[in-house]
Structure 1
Amino acid sequence: MGEKSTADLKRVLSFRHVVFFGLAFMAPSTVFGTYGVAAFQSDGMIATGYIIALFVMLFTAYSYAQLVKAYPSAGAAYTFTKKAIHPHLGFLVGWAILLDYMLSPMISSLLLGIALKAFFPSIPMFVWIILFVIIFTAVNILGIKFAANFNTYVFLISLLVFVLFVVFALHYLLKGEGAGTAFSILPFYDQEVPLSGLIGVIPILCFTYLGFDAVTALSEETKNPTKTIPKAIFIIPIVGSILYVIVTYLLQLVYPNISSFTDPQSVQYEIAYLIGGIFFKTFFVVTGIIPSLTSAIASSSSASRIMYAMGRENILPKKIFGYISPKFHTPVYNILIVAFVALSSLLFNLTTATSLINFGAFFTFIFVNISVISHYFIKKRNRSFKGTIKYLIIPSIGAVFILCLWLNLGWYSFFLGGLWLVVGFIYLLKQIKESKQSTSDIFLDNEYESNH
């Protein structure tokens, strides 16, 4: 394990690979799972809610796109903040985003284990979780191109759910069932829905966009990353939004009486049975495991690349975290660490893992927006009228939007996320203290780079 690796990451990913990778991380079919709760809380207009959520998240997507042009590195947000603001803060941001990327496979493992346990009650849930972790770990170890191709094909299969849903829903509506029409403005505007209810559900909808940022971690494995990655960063949430809006529009028309939901958390299964009978409901449930697999593969890839960037610079132990397999050109040890964390889903619950993910993602997004201001507006002095709009006003709006979302997280998220940051801060202090130099070479290599 301790041998020095002479291998490196290889640029093998195309624009198509990157886009499907990001969509797989987002897992757009989760729109079915979140619809009931979101619609019940807001009393409708979820289609408009997703349009607002897209508007909010595009500001941060813009900031990611600007920074990846300046720093096309596997370190993603960690590298952005480190080089644009300060190395120590960069470490804490990288530490925070690991919560998102490393715990996402854990949530996917839990969701899949729960679903398959319901189908096969005689088989213990831990069997499914272990098998699931072995599969997504093996796919990632075999190479990023193999993982990207695998995710692309599996994700395309999951799109069948959307196609069949649209077909069955339109057939149901054209028969005069549900709202009795396939054309209505109510999913977009309903004067009966209070504005406070709609705004209150936006944070829930924004969570479904987490993952578009993950593709920045693939910069060193993407062909022409300064052009490919920025385009993909915008395409991913826009494509996801189109799917979200179509689905929620039809869901509301098929089942317009939102207040009568028996169970908001499982209303999607009721609607699937309503429009397509037992066939579609069964197909709907079975294919529901696909997003868990694709999301786990994508998040595991991103997490392992963030850890590799930290290990390469010896912020984390280089012999382990900075190792690249000469055969597969993947950070094998990091992938195995993510797998080990995913196996801890046998001991955790969804509430704990979700709280940590939301805290880490929004904390990171805030500093990505600030990094644009620091790099372009302050350091590069792009302060013309156009530069002020691009590098001060837009990222400032993005930072404020995300800060509002972050502050709306519950105390549980702040307690657990705060503990994680404290652990990272203590580790950072230890690293600085152990360095005999007044300016740590481990953390402050950006000064040299900026002068050369």
Structure 2
Amino acid sequence: MNNEKQGKLKRSLSLSHVVFFGLAFMAPGTVFGTYGVAAFESKGMIAAGYIAALFVMLFTAYSYAQLVKAFPSAGAAYTFTQKAINPYLGFLVGWAILLDYMLSPMISSLLLSISLKAYFPAVPMFVWIIIFVIVITTINILGIKFAANFNTYVFLLQMLSFILFVFFALKYLLHGDGGGTSFSILPFYDHNVKFSALAGVIPVLCFTYLGFDAVTALSEETKNPTKTLPKAIYLIPIIGSVIYVIATYLLQIVYPNISSFSDPQSVQYKIFYLIGGMFLKSVFVAMGIVASVTSAIASGSSASRIMYAMGRENILPKKLFGYISPKFHTPVFNILIVGAVALSSMLFNLNFATSLINFGAFFAFIFVNISVITHYFIKNKERSLKGSIKYLVLPLIGAVLIFALWLNLGKFSLVLGGVWLIIGFIYLLKQTKMFKQSPSDVFLDTEA
């Protein structure tokens, strides 16, 4: 059965849909959950750390924006590398980025179940995981616009809670027990903090910017994607950064003694209680749960679209991965697979999942930057002074910066990610008969 008889992806997303979808993937509310650890590691220069992370990620965002103009299809980094460099390498990049998108719902389900277990200790964690996976899978199956609208409304709720936090923090600082605490530049610059402390936390903070890349997988469901998506790719990390910097600045000013953190992972709840009592603390517990839902929906949608792109081109079995529901216009089987992977969170821990996510995302980012050079500078010969800056210098800087971060992920991440790549390479080698057959022809013989 061909794709036309099955159904097809439907263009229904506007710029606001895409931006909110990417922001939901980023789940800006998680800035509070990661604050204590990141602030402790950066010796208090957390706001400066987020600005530095934005600087690093904007180079890669630039490359995504250039490539989505040339290749506005659902495969994201997989499609970019496949078409710009080499189809075999494209498969490996797609294989790697699947770690990011497919395991993100697993992390979200773990975080949510851990939070709910603390409030409802009598209910086993696996019950919350199963309920969570059923909800996000159903939302994604019902359609991309439904999912995008759901994420938009929930993201707006997160923003209301953020505004609430800013209000209570300023009230505390200016009129409450803060005693008119003076504002400080220490979260941005502290001469007592060594650069190594700041540099060490940047790779961790860069992970919070994943989201601008995910929306490129929605190219075939976005109205006028060559204009809409580049705008969204820049807006998503910039808006996220504004939230990150304001939130972490106020958190540190309210509670400046970083060295006194007895439990960095939960210090944010102590601060919420300090400035807003049980009310504000409860609001952010609820928002943490909501953020897990929206992030899982966004990452699950992106993963299913990348698998669809690979299935449509026969790189993965087409009958399964290339199927689109004629009723919902969504890759239903792929969404169910993502849900099944998320259920496996009952068997693994956060360290295992996050290590693989970090490896896959940075591996793909490196080749997205290289793809700009290959497509525009080498193949299309955009070699004027302006072209050299746009299509050689900027993406090369992006590739070098991401490569440096990738090398600093640690042995655990590199080993696990390397094993995943080897598995993908062996699969590719076998299916292409030792590279004698094009990846796009992998399953043609079985369908003939």
TM-score (norm 2): 0.96
Matches of 1:349 and 1:197 in 2, distance apart? Answer: 27
- Residues 70-123 of structure 1: CA deviation (Å, up to 9, x unaligned): 000101100000000000000000000000000000000000011111111111
Task: State the match for 2:417 in structure 1.
Answer: 417
| 3-state SS, counterpart of residue 44 of structure 1 | coil
Structure 1 contact 45–186 (Cα < 8 Å) conserved: yes
SS at match of 1:212: coil
Please tell me whether the aligned partners of residues 9 and 324 of structure 1 are also in contact (alpha carbons under 8 angstroms): yes
Equivalence for 1:67: 67
Matches of 2:140 and 2:392, distance apart in 1 = 38
Q: 1:379 to 1:3 in 2, by over 3 A?
A: closer
Question: 1:433 aligns to what SS in structure 2?
Answer: coil
The 10-residue stretch of structure 1 (349-358 or 274-283) with the greater mean CA deviation from structure 2: 274-283
| Deviation at residue 4 of structure 1 after TM alignment | 8.3
Q: 1:337-416 residue pairs with structure 2 within 5 A? A: 337-416=337-416
**Preserved CA contact (<8 Å) 1:109 1:342:** yes
Structure 2 CA distance for aligned equivalents of residues 159 and 367 of structure 1: 34
The answer (yes or no) to whether the contact 1:74–1:305 under 8 Å persists in 2 is yes
Match of 2:7 in 1: 7
Between the aligned partners of 2:315 and 2:308, the Cα distance in structure 1 is 10
Q: What per-residue deviation string (whole Å, max 9, x for no partner) do you get for residues 276-324 of structure 1?
A: 1111112221221011000000000000000000000111000000000
Cα deviation for residue 192 of structure 1 reads 1.9
Query: Are the aligned partners of 2:314 and 2:439 in contact in 1 as well (CA < 8 Å)?
Result: no
Displacement after TM superposition at 1:410 (Å): 1.1
Asked if 1:52 corresponds to 2:52, the answer is yes
Mapped contact 1:170–1:182 kept (Cα < 8 A): no
Letter in 2 for 1:89: L
Unaligned stretches of 5+ residues in structure 2: none
Distance verdict in 2 for CA 1:226–1:277, change over 3 Å = same
Change (3 A) 1:386 1:427: same
Are 1:19 and 2:29 matched, yes or no?
Answer: no
- Following superposition of structure 1 onto structure 2, how do residues 207-218 of structure 1 map, counting pairs within 5 Å? 207-218=207-218
- Over the aligned positions, Cα root-mean-square deviation in angstroms equals 1.7
> Is the 8 Å Cα contact of residues 3 and 322 (structure 2) preserved in structure 1?
no
Secondary structure, aligned partner of 1:208: helix
Residue deviations 1:26-65, cap 9 Å, x none?
0011111111111111211211111111000000000000
C-alpha separation between the residues in 2 aligned to 1:7 and 1:434?
A: 34
Residues 80, 368 of structure 1: 8 Å contact kept? yes
2: CA distance, partners of 1:415 / 1:441:
29
Structure 1 CA distance, aligned partners of 2:3 and 2:216?
28
Shift in alpha-carbon separation, 1:439–1:234, aligned structure 2, 3 A: closer
Within 5 Å, give how 1:197-208 maps onto structure 2. 197-208=197-208
Q: Distance in 2 between matches of 1:37 and 1:180?
A: 27
Offset at residue 175 of structure 1 (A) = 2.4
Note the C-alpha offset of 1:5. Answer: 4.4
Give matches, 1:156-235, under 5 Å: 156-175=156-175, 177-178=177-178, 180-181=180-181, 183-235=183-235
Distance 1:369 1:224, change over 3 A: same
Q: Supply the AA of the counterpart residue of 1:442.
A: D
- Measured in 2, the distance between the counterparts of 1:84 and 1:157 equals 40
User: Alpha-carbon deviation of 1:181?
Assistant: 2.9
Contact 1:5 1:324 in 2 (8 A): no
User: What secondary structure is seen at the aligned counterpart in 1 of 2:344?
Assistant: helix
Report the counterpart of residue 238 of structure 2 in structure 1: 238
Instruction: List runs of 5+ in structure 1 lacking aligned partners.
Output: 446-452
- Contact 1:5 1:323 (C-alpha < 8 Å) held by counterparts: no
Supply the distance in 2 between the matched residues of 1:318 and 1:438 (Cα, whole angstroms): 17
Contact 1:35–1:268, Cα closer than 8 Å, also in 2: yes
* 1:184 Cα deviation from its structure 2 partner: 2.0
User: What is the CA distance between 1:268 and its match in structure 2?
Assistant: 0.3
Distance 1:213 1:321 in 2: 21
Instruction: Give the letter aligned to residue 372 of structure 1.
Output: V
Is contact 2:3–2:324 with CA below 8 Å preserved after alignment? no
Deviation at 1:327, TM superposition (A): 0.3
Alignment check: 8 A CA contact 1:325 1:331 kept? yes
**Matched residues in 2 for 1:311 and 1:388: separation?**
35
Contact 1:3 1:319 in 2 (8 A): no
Aligned to 1:449: none
Provide the rounded CA distance (Å) in 2 between the counterparts of 1:404 and 1:256: 31
Structure 1 residues 398 and 38, CA, compared in 2 at 3 Å: closer, same or farther?
same
| Residue number in structure 2 paired with 1:314 | 314
- Secondary structure of 2:213 counterpart: helix
**Paired amino acid for 1:251:** L
CA 425–271 in structure 1, closer or farther in 2 if over 3 Å, else same: same
Q: In 1, distance between residues paired with 2:433 and 2:402?
A: 33
What is the alpha-carbon distance in structure 2 between the residues aligned to residue 144 and residue 432 of structure 1?
33
Amino acid at match of 1:388: S
1:127 aligned to 2:133? no
Show the counterpart of 1:263.
Answer: 263
Looking at structure 2, the residues matched to 240 and 71 of structure 1 have their Cα atoms a distance apart, in angstroms, of: 26
- Give the counterpart letter for 1:292 in structure 2: S
Question: Which amino acid is the alignment partner of residue 424 of structure 2?
Answer: G
Say how many residue pairs are matched.
443
Q: CA deviation at 1:442?
A: 2.3
- Which residue type is aligned with residue 12 of structure 1? S
SS at match of 2:6: coil
Give the SS at the match of 2:433: helix
TM-score (norm 1): 0.95
- Note the 1:89-128 alignment, pairs <5 A: 89-128=89-128
Range that drifts further, 424-433 or 189-198: 189-198
Distance 2:18 2:3 in 1: 31
Cα distance in 2 for partners of 1:339, 1:85 equals 32
Question: Which letter does structure 2 place at the counterpart of 1:41?
Answer: E
